[in-house]
Structure 1
Amino acid sequence: MELNSIKPSSGSKRPRRRVGRGIGSGLGKTAGRGHKGQKSRSGGYHKVGFEGGQMPLQRRLPKRGFKSRTLKFNAEVTLSDLERLGAAEVDMLALKQAGLVGELVKVVKVIKSGELTKAVKLTGIGATAGAKAVIESAGGSLA
């Protein structure tokens, strides 16, 4: 095979449609637009979502919910996750390398879910009041 012999597979390319080029082409006179009306005119067509003056669907339905844009930068880690991790000192980098939090995360908080028996020193990581009590009772600390 040579570079100058490469061709697209048969049937994958179709010739351009040249409208308004005479009666013999099959697309002359009205050029496939039918007769009269808004859709046949140049530059004339309704905007997206327009329903002929009727109140459009996107305005009939109630507004609902909110998606925070900062959500992807925050993460939660459970006590059972820290137990499974088994490291004495835990920081943001250790959690990212273990795959417990995403790469984009900037703020991590430990929540009280599960058990913790090992002493863990947390640096640069927050914790809820309940989680903090469990960590300190297991001999760990927060910095």
Structure 2
Amino acid sequence: MKLNDLRDKDGATHSRKRLGRGIGSGSGKTAGRGVKGQKARSGVAINGFEGGQMPLYRRLPKRGFNNLFGKSFAIVSLAKIQAAIDAKKLDAKEAVTAEALVAAGVIRRAKDGVRVLSDGELKAKLSFDVAGASKAAIEKIEKAGGSVKLPEAAAAE
């Protein structure tokens, strides 16, 4: 067998239907699109249209509420911070900020700020400069000899 003897099996390929090539071709004039109307034109896009029936996306109820002014915080536990200090990724002498946590690989991105939660124990004396912290986390940090600096808006909550 030679390369020039290779062929597809019979029926494996189909020749393209040439549309709009005269009345004798069987698909001339309207080219198989019927007559007039939106679907006879090119660029038809009627997704979700159900022939005048109320569409599904309007029949189903809406749920929830999106707060335009809501903030999304990166959440960090005390256990993760202690693990980063033990692994020498975070320096216990410097303040723990969002930038320091990203650089240490504790969080991937800071989002609208960092919120510290009280999971785990903290042994190191640290000063935190973060967007938020739970009351239990603040107690644990201060018990370990550290301090927490929060923005005025978060401190009022």
Q: Tell me the TM-score normalized by structure 2.
A: 0.64
**2:130 is the alignment partner of 1:134:** no
How much is the aligned-residue C-alpha RMSD, in angstroms? 3.2
Over 3 Å counting, the alpha-carbon distance change for 1:72 and 1:59 in structure 2 is same
**C-alpha displacement at 1:114, in angstroms?**
1.5
**2:78 is the alignment partner of 1:79:** yes
Alignment of 1:61-80 (within 5 A): 61-66=60-65, 73-80=72-79
Deviation readout 1:27-47 (Å, 9 max, x if unpaired): 31220214x47465448x683
User: Which sections of structure 1, spanning at least 5 residues, go unmatched?
Assistant: 1-15
The secondary structure found in structure 2 opposite 1:102 is coil
What is the match of residue 32 of structure 1?
A: 32
- Measure the CA separation in 1 of the matches of 2:26 and 2:68: 53
User: Which sections of structure 2, spanning at least 5 residues, go unmatched?
Assistant: 1-15, 86-90, 150-157
Runs of 4+ in 1 over 6 A off after TM superposition: 69-72
Count of residue pairs the alignment pairs up = 127
Over 3 Å counting, the alpha-carbon distance change for 1:17 and 1:120 in structure 2 is farther
- Measure the CA separation in 1 of the matches of 2:105 and 2:120: 19
- Measure the CA separation in 2 of the matches of 1:128 and 1:29: 73
The percentage of counterpart residues that share the same residue type is 46
Deviation readout 1:119-139 (Å, 9 max, x if unpaired): 111124431111000000011
The secondary structure found in structure 2 opposite 1:139 is coil
- Measure the CA separation in 1 of the matches of 2:82 and 2:110: 23
Amino acid of the residue matched to residue 137 of structure 1?
Answer: K
Residues 74, 109 of structure 2: 8 Å contact kept: no
Q: Tell me the TM-score normalized by structure 1.
A: 0.69
- Measure the CA separation in 1 of the matches of 2:51 and 2:24: 37
The secondary structure found in structure 1 opposite 2:80 is helix
What is the match of residue 109 of structure 1?
A: 115
